Amino acid sequence: MNNSLGVVVVAAGRGTRMGTAESKQFLLLQDKPVFIYTLEVFAAVPEVSEIVLVTGADDVQRCRKWIDRHQIAKVKDVIAGGSERQHSVHRGLECLQTEWVMVHDGVRPFVGRDEIRRCLETAREFGASVLAVPVKDTIKQVNEEGVIAATPDRRSLWSIQTPQTFRLSDLLRAHEAAEHEGFLGTDDSMLVERLGIPVRVVEGKYTNIKITTPEDLDIAQLWISKKGEDAG
C-alpha cells in the first residue's frame, strides 16, 4: 500500500436545519453541488490516491453523473450509506485498499490543501489526527433544569472538524469494536480513542465551516463568489 491515502467523504445526511426540500450536500453553490467542491479539494491533493463517496441510496446514480460531469477521476466508488453516519463511514472504509484514511464531511467544501497535508503528516508521525480550532466563546455546562453547572477552562476546549486521519486498519478495528458493542459515537476519533490510541489535534481554520443552516449557505455563496472574482 506504500503509505497511500484514501478518503471517505460522507454525504448521506438528510439534515433538516437547512429548511429546504433538497439535502444540504446537493444544494448549488453557483453551478455545482456543495459535495462536488469538497471532492475537488481532495482530488487536487497529490497524496490522495482514491476517494469513496458515501451518500443516500436514492442519490447514488445522480452523484455518479455529477462526478462524471466534473471529471473527478480519483473517486473510486459511490456507495449507499447506512442508517447512521457511523454506519456510512464503516461501509466506505471497507471499499478502500490504502494504508491511511481520512474521513471528511461532504458539506465542508472549504478545507484547505495545506490543512489536509498537515493532518496526514501528523497522523503519519503520531498515529492519528483530527483537524480542529480553539473554542472562541466561553462554554457553559448546563444541567437539565437549564442552570449553569460548570464553566470549563476555554483553553482546553477545541471545536473538532474534519478531516480526521487514521491508519485504515485502526479505524476499521475501531468501527468493528463499536458495532460489536452497540456503541454509537459522535465522530470517528471517539471510536479510535476507545481503543486507547492517542489522537493529535491539528489546528485548522475557522473558515472550514460545515454547511448546515441557511446562514452557512449564504456565507458559502459569498466566499465562492469572492474566489471567482479573485481568480478573474
* pLDDT per position as a tens digit, 140-153: 999 999 999 999 99
Alpha-carbon distances, residue 57 vs 61, 104, 194, 205, 213 (angstroms): 9, 19, 30, 32, 23
Which residue range is the domain that position 171 belongs to?
A: 5-231
Query: How much is the pLDDT for 20?
Result: 55
How many domains does one find in the chain? 1
- Which of 90, 107, 56, 91 is closest to 177 using CA atoms? 90
Mean pLDDT of 114-132: 98
CATH at 129: 3.90.550.10
- Judged by average pLDDT, the poorest of 45-54, 61-70, 85-94, 214-223 is 214-223
- At 23-50, the pLDDT tens digits run 778 888 888 899 999 999 999 999 999 9
Q: Which three cell numbers stand for residue 176?
A: 468493528
Average pLDDT over residues 196-217: 93
Q: What is the pLDDT of residue 223?
A: 87
Residue 25: what pLDDT?
87
pLDDT at position 142 is: 97
Tell how many helices (H) and how many strands (E) occur in the chain: 7, 11
pLDDT over 70 at 18, yes or no: no
Three cell numbers, residue 225: 463568489
Q: pTM (2 decimals)?
A: 0.92
